Amino acid sequence: MTASDLENRYGAHNYKPLEVVIARGDGVWLWDTEGRRYLDCMSAYSAVSLGHGHPRILKALTEQAQKVAVISRAFRSDVLGQFLETLCQRSGFDMALPMNSGAEAVETAIKAARRWGYDIKGIAADKAEIIVADNNFHGRTTTIVGFSSDADYRRGFGPFTPGFRSVPFGNAKALEQAITPETAAVLIEPIQGEAGIILPPPGYLRAVRAACDKHNVLLILDEIQSGLCRTGRWFAFEHEGIRPDGMTLGKALGGGVLPVSAFVARREVMEVFTPGSHGSTFGGNSLAAAVGLEALRVMADEQLADQSAHLGQRMLDRLNRIRSPLIREVRGRGLWVGVELDGNLTSGRRMVEEMMRLGVLSKETHETVVRLAPPLVITESELDWGLDQFEDALHRLERSAA
Ligand SMILES: *Cc1c(COP(=O)(O)O)cnc(C)c1O
């Protein structure tokens, strides 16, 4: 059987991958089993912001693996503290709680918000509410999909966890109106990634921050995809000059090689956790800590926030100059752009298949949006080459649509 046949025969069908079998990666490039080379414009949903096989990440990974990898939190580690210190210094928060997947960091944030609601705010037992936004994406646990507005994420997985209220994204008035004395927190993405790279109107986060301050509600931002230099700043909230009370991080935190996530927060929020109240067998393991620490150092040393801002603007300018009947909208920030195609004339899937033939890998989201999110270590000429292919693919589709 071929590699695809094996996946189809023995793997659950919870994904519909492009028919390309990847065998190797280096920097911004991937190679298939036939030796064809592709520019990676997915970066594994930002997990590979440092590119494939970054030499400093591989060095940290192998050196730590040879010393000790997993000891559990039953013992102290000689690297975890350094990782947490750097994470807090970088993000400007007081304390961090390390987990593995992004969804676990979000679950941690939900627990923190609820317990803060009871212990600090004084909400009656089991009444705490968390306000979320329509079209959110925060992961795939049963609690998290319970407050998703995507039918595919939810169907057949109920009953769901109560205590969430969803409001339109980008509308601070609607959000403030949903706040009650039982609201513990607002949990939103500063830019909605999986929804199609949706930017809220300017001033939205500032208005949400003000509403949270006024009503004594925590503002928790999910920066699992938007954070760690992707939008041209270390964190997307910096574009609005605000500061949340807590934030979830993941994806790029693992340097492109491991699942490493964290919830970071103000001391008052994090101190609701007491020994035994929360944990994870692998969370904060020595290998993850060493890799996470090195990932943060690489982002700083290679000035990836500036790189993303500069090249992201170049990408947006170039895409905005394209005159094509297939393009409805180009939006994004930093090296994180969604191109919305006209669903009557073509589809995201057809576009990414055409791009694949020309050596650029990406993935559609929501039928009509094509994501362009290369590793942040991409060079100007590599980016220009990728955009040449994008334009070429678009014109090919125009001819077949005509
Ligand atoms: C990917 C993502 C998650 C979930 O992360 P996993 O590692 O897949 O569990 C949560 N929130 C946002 C904003 C994401 O993009």
Tell me the CATH number at 41: 3.90.1150.10
CATH number of residue 259's parent domain: 3.40.640.10
With a 6 Å cutoff on the Cβ, whether 137 touches ligand 1 is yes
Residues 249 and 127 both lie in one domain? yes
Q: Both 192 and 221 in a single domain?
A: yes
59 annotated active-site? no
Cβ burial, residue 310 (10 Å; 0-12/13-18/19+): middle
pLDDT more than 70, % of the chain: 100
Q: Is the CB of 45 under 6 A from ligand 1?
A: yes
Is pLDDT of 377 > 90? Answer: yes
Q: Is 139 in the pocket of ligand 1 (CB under 6 A)?
A: yes
Spatial neighbors of 152 by CB under 8 A, at least 6 apart, are none
Do residues 143 and 272 share a domain? yes
Q: pLDDT value at position 401?
A: 74
Q: Note down the domain range covering 116.
A: 55-301
- Regarding whether 356 and 290 lie in a shared domain, the answer is no
The CB of 107 under 6 Å from ligand 1? The reply is: no
Token pair listed for 56: 């400093």
Q: What are the pLDDT digits (tens) for 168-193? A: 999 999 999 999 999 999 999 999 99
> Ligand 1 mean position to 223 CA, how many Å?
9
CA atoms within 13 A on the CB side of 352: 26
Together in a domain, 291 and 313: no
Q: For residue 106, how far is its CA from the centre of ligand 1 (angstroms)?
A: 8
Report DSSP state, residue 57. H
pLDDT at 46: 96
Last residue of a domain, one of 267, 301, 335: 301
What would the pLDDT profile of 8-55 be if each residue is shown by its tens digit?
A: 999 999 999 999 999 999 999 999 999 999 999 999 999 999 999 999
Structurally, how many domains does the chain consist of?
Answer: 2
Asked if 205 and 237 touch (Cβ cutoff 8 Å), the reply is yes
Mean pLDDT for 301-307 is: 98
Q: Are residues 264 and 310 in the same domain?
A: no
Instruction: Give 66-72's long-range contacts (Cβ < 8 A, gap of 24+).
Output: 67/286, 68/286, 69/285, 69/286, 69/287, 70/282, 70/285, 70/286, 70/287, 71/285, 71/286, 72/281, 72/285
Q: Is the pLDDT of residue 338 over 90?
A: yes
Q: Is the CB of 106 under 6 A from ligand 1?
A: yes
Residues 197 and 336 in one domain: no
Q: Is the pLDDT of residue 402 over 80?
A: no
| Helix orientation angle between 80-91 and 286-301, rounded to the nearest 10 degrees | 40
Residue at which a domain ends, from 301, 320, 344: 301
N residues, the chain = 402
Q: Is the pLDDT of residue 90 over 70?
A: yes
- 173 catalytic? Reply is no
Is 251 marked active-site? yes
Angle in degrees, 0-180, between the axes of helices 380-401 and 304-321, rounded to the nearest 10: 30
- Here the tokens at position 242 are 């605000």
Q: Is the CB of 250 under 6 A from ligand 1?
A: yes
Q: Which of 49, 107, 224, 230 to mutate to test the pocket of ligand 1 (most atoms within 8 A of CB)?
A: 224
Would the CB of 336 count as within 6 Å of ligand 1? Answer: no
pLDDT digits (tens, 9 = 90+) for 140-164: 999 999 999 999 999 999 999 999 9
Which pTM does this prediction carry?
Answer: 0.98
Given a cut of 70, whether residue 105 has pLDDT beyond it is yes
The share of the chain scoring above pLDDT 90, in percent, equals: 99
Q: Give pLDDT tens digits for 343-358.
A: 999 999 999 999 999 9
Integer Cα distance of 225 and 223 in angstroms? 5
Q: What is the per-residue pLDDT across 281-298, written as a single tens digit (0 to 9) for each?
A: 999 999 999 999 999 999
Dist. CA 3 → ligand 1 center (Å): 27
Same domain, 241 and 262: yes
Write down the H helix ranges in 304-379: 304-321, 348-357
Whether residues 260 and 370 fall in one domain = no
Whether residues 146 and 226 fall in one domain:
yes
The reported pLDDT for the residue numbered 400 is: 85
Our CA dihedral for 258, 279, 230, 135, rounded to 10 degrees, sits at: 120
Q: Are residues 272 and 189 in the same domain?
A: yes
Tell which one of 220, 230, 251 to mutate to probe ligand 1, the residue whose CB is within 8 A of the most ligand atoms. 251
Residue of 169, 222, 263, 273 marked active site: 222
Interatomic CA distance for residues 253 and 292, integer angstroms: 5
- Mean pLDDT, rounded, for 228-232: 98
Domain boundary among 286, 301, 316: 301
Question: Is 125 found in the same domain as 70?
Answer: yes
- In whole angstroms, what is the distance from residue 394 CA to residue 402 CA? 12
